[in-house]
C-alpha cells in the first residue's frame, strides 16, 4: 500500500444527509441509509441566482431580524465613542454625500428621503471602512466591531440566497469526509472499463461464444504492424514472468504465425538437461486499446488446438472478468499474460526491460457451507511450472491481498470483505502511508485465509479477486 486518498461523502449515508442539509440550509432527511454508492456523492454546486428566487426567499427576513440588532448596537457604540471629537468627517455616500458630520453637534437632521439621522453620528450606509487618522482607540475598535457584525450578516444572507437558488452540480468535486481516508496501493486501478452490448440467441446464450465454439468467430480490426512488431520484439527478449523467477518462460525462438487469432509461435524447453522437451506455444496478442473477451480466448484456443500447439499464452493489457476464469480448452492450457502499460510506448523503450509480461494463475479456494451461511478458504494460486508442464498451488504468503464480493452482480465487483494474508510488508507500508500506528489486533483479524461467514447471495454468485505482491490480479466467479 503506497498512497492515501480522500474519502468522499456518500449521498446514501447519515454523514451525507447531514452535509446535504447543511448545503441546502434545510432539515436533514429522515430516510434510512444503506451506504449504496449508486446514489452517488454529495457534490459541490454552483448557484444560478435570479431576482425572482431572491424575492421569494423568506429566510432573508429572518436573518435580518436576527442579526440586525448586533449591527445597530455596534453603530451606536461607534457614534458614542466619537461624540465630541474635534475633527469633522466628510460623508461620501447617501443623502448627506459631500456634507460633513460635526461630532460636537446635537439633535437630528432630515435627509432627502424624509428619514432623520443623528447630526453628530453615522447612519449604517455612511460608516467608513477605515478609521481616519486621529480617531480615538475606542472609536477604532467600535468601527471594527461594526464591520464584523455587518459582514457576518451579509455572509448569512448570501449563503441563504445561494442555497435557495437553482444550481448546477460539480460532479468532479464531491465533498470530503475529513475524518476518514482511503488507502490504496499499486494493486488497485481506478478507471472506466470499456463496455459493449452482448447479443444473445433465442435460448439466451451469447452469440459470440457460440460462434467461437463453432470456429466462426471473426477477428476484430487488426492492430498496426508496428504495434505487433514491438510486442513481439519485447516478448522475445523479456519472456513471460510469474511470481517466482524460476517459473519464467524464456523462448528459444519466436516467429510470426499466419493465423486468424494466433499471432506468433514460441518454442521453449520444458524440463532440464537431456530430459528437456521442446514445447510449442501459440501467442495471442490482444488489442492495444481495449479488452480481451472470453469469446476471443475460446476462438484462439480452438485455433491453437487445430494447429497442434501445446499451450496458449494470451498477452493483453486488460481481460474481461469472465475471460479471467477461462484457463483451459480441451488439452490446451491458457495462460493470461498481462502486459505492462509501458508497452504502450514500446517504440521508445529498450526492448526486454523489466517485467513486461506477467502471468498470474487461477485462485485455488474452497467454498464451505456452515448451516445457512458460507465461508471461503483461500488455499493459494495455481501456478504453471514450465520446467515440468504442471500446475501447482502456491502458498497463501505469496498473496498480497484478496477480496470477496459476497453478492456478485456480474457487472461490478464490490469489495465486501478484504484480507491481507501476505507477510508484514503491507502492514509496514500502511503504517508509513498513514504516518500513524496501526492497531495490531485489528490488522491480525485481516491477515487470514478464511473469510468471515456471509449469507447466501441473492444473485446466486460470489466473486473472489486475488492480488499478488507485483500488483497483478485475477478474479474467479463461483455459483452458490
pLDDT in 10s for each residue of the chain, 480 residues: 457 788 999 999 999 999 999 988 888 888 899 988 889 999 998 888 888 889 889 999 999 999 999 999 999 999 999 999 999 999 998 889 999 999 999 899 988 888 899 999 999 999 999 999 999 999 999 999 999 999 999 999 999 998 888 889 999 999 999 888 887 654 444 433 333 444 555 555 555 555 555 555 544 444 456 788 888 888 888 888 876 666 788 899 999 998 899 999 999 988 777 778 889 999 999 888 888 888 999 999 999 999 999 999 999 888 887 787 788 888 898 888 888 877 776 555 554 555 788 777 677 788 999 988 999 998 877 766 666 656 666 777 778 888 999 998 877 888 899 888 875 555 666 677 667 777 777 777 888 889 999 999 998 999 888 887 666 777 788 888
Written as nine digits, the cell of 449 is: 485465509
Query: CATH code for 207-359?
Result: 3.40.1350
179, containing H or E segment? strand 176-184
- Which residues have CB under 8 Å from 4's CB, separation 6+? 181, 182, 183, 184, 433, 434
Neighbours of 439 (CB within 10 A): 8
* Prediction pTM value: 0.48
C-alpha cell at 88: 469633522
d(CA 91, CA 88): 10
Q: Phi then psi for 428, rounded to 5 degrees? A: -65, -40
* Residue 455 CA, distance from chain mean position: 27
Residues present in the chain in total = 480
Bridge partners of 253?
Answer: 267
Phi, then psi, of 337 in degrees rounded to 5: -105, 110
Instruction: Indicate the pairing of strand 89-90 with strand 264-270.
Output: unpaired
Contact 279, 311 (CB under 8 A): yes
Q: Give the fold, CATH level 3, of 363-479.
A: Immunoglobulin-like (2.60.40)
CA torsion sign for 42, 48, 53, 57 is positive
Q: How many C-beta atoms lie closer than 10 Å to residue 225's C-beta?
A: 8
Residue 240 forms beta bridges with which residues? Answer: 249
Measured CA angle at 407 (ends 402, 408), to 5 deg = 75
Of residues 350, 374, 259, 349, the one with CA closest to residue 309: 259
Whole-Å CA distances, 38 to 12, 44, 139, 404, 458:
9, 18, 57, 19, 18
Annotated domain spans of the chain: 59-162, 207-359, 363-479
> Do 479 and 461 meet the contact criterion of CB atoms below 8 Å apart?
yes
Amino acid at each position: 500500500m503506497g498512497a492515501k486518498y480522500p474519502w468522499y461523502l456518500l449521498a446514501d449515508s447519515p454523514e451525507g444527509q447531514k452535509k446535504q442539509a447543511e448545503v441546502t440550509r434545510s432539515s436533514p432527511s429522515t430516510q434510512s441509509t444503506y451506504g449504496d454508492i449508486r446514489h452517488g456523492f454529495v457534490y459541490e454546486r454552483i448557484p444560478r441566482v435570479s431576482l425572482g428566487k431572491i424575492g421569494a426567499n423568506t429566510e432573508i427576513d429572518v436573518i435580518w431580524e436576527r442579526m440586525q440588532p448586533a449591527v445597530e448596537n455596534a453603530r451606536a457604540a461607534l457614534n458614542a465613542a466619537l461624540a465630541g471629537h474635534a475633527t469633522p468627517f466628510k460623508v461620501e455616500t447617501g443623502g448627506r454625500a459631500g456634507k460633513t458630520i460635526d461630532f460636537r453637534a446635537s439633535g437630528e437632521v432630515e435627509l432627502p428621503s424624509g428619514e432623520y439621522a443623528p447630526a453628530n453620528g453615522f447612519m449604517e450606509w455612511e460608516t467608513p471602512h477605515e478609521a481616519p487618522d486621529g480617531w480615538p482607540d475606542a472609536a477604532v475598535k467600535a468601527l471594527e466591531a461594526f464591520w464584523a457584525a455587518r459582514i457576518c450578516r451579509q455572509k448569512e444572507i448570501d449563503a441563504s440566497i445561494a442555497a435557495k437558488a437553482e444550481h448546477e452540480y460539480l460532479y468532479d468535486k464531491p465533498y470530503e469526509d475529513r475524518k476518514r481516508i482511503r488507502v490504496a496501493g499499486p494493486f488497485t486501478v481506478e478507471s472506466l472499463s470499456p463496455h459493449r452490448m452482448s447479443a444473445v440467441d433465442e435460448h439466451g446464450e451469447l452469440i459470440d461464444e457460440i460462434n467461437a465454439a463453432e470456429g466462426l468467430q471473426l477477428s476484430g480490426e487488426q492492430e498496426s504492424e508496428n504495434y505487433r512488431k514491438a510486442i513481439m520484439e519485447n516478448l522475445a527478449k523479456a519472456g513471460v514472468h510469474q511470481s517466482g523467477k524460476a517459473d519464467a518462460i524464456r523462448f528459444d525462438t519466436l516467429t510470426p504465425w499466419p493465423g486468424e487469432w494466433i499471432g506468433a509461435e514460441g518454442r521453449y524447453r520444458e524440463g532440464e538437461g537431456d530430459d528437456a522437451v521442446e514445447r510449442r506455444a501459440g501467442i495471442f496478442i490482444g488489442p492495444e486499446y481495449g479488452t480481451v473477451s472470453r469469446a476471443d480466448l475460446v476462438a484462439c484456443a480452438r485455433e491453437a488446438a487445430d494447429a497442434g500447439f501445446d499451450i496458449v499464452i494470451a498477452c493483453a493489457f486488460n481481460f474481461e472478468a469472465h475471460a479471467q476464469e477461462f484457463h483451459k480448452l480441451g488439452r490446451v492450457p491458457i495462460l493470461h499474460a498481462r502486459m505492462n502499460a509501458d508497452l504502450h510506448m514500446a517504440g521508445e523503450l529498450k526492448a526486454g526491460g523489466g517485467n513486461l509480461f506477467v502471468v498470474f494463475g487461477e485462485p485455488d479456494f474452497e467454498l464451505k457451507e456452515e448451516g445457512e451461511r458460507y465461508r471461503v478458504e483461500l488455499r493459494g494460486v495455481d501456478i504453471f511450472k514450465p520446467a515440468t508442464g504442471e500446475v501447482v498451488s502456491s502458498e497463501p504468503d505469496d498473496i498480497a491481498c484478496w477480496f470477496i464480493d459476497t453478492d456478485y452482480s456480474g457487472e461490478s465487483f464490490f469489495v465486501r470483505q478484504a484480507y491481507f494474508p501476505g507477510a508484514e510488508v503491507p502492514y509496514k507500508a500502511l503504517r508509513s502511508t498513514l504516518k500513524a500506528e496501526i492497531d495490531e489486533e485489528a490488522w491480525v483479524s485481516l491477515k487470514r485465509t478464511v473469510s468471515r461467514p456471509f449469507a447466501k447471495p441473492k444473485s446466486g454468485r460470489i466473486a473472489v479477486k486475488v492480488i499478488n505482491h507485483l500488483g497483478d490480479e485475477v478474479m474467479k466467479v463461483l455459483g452458490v
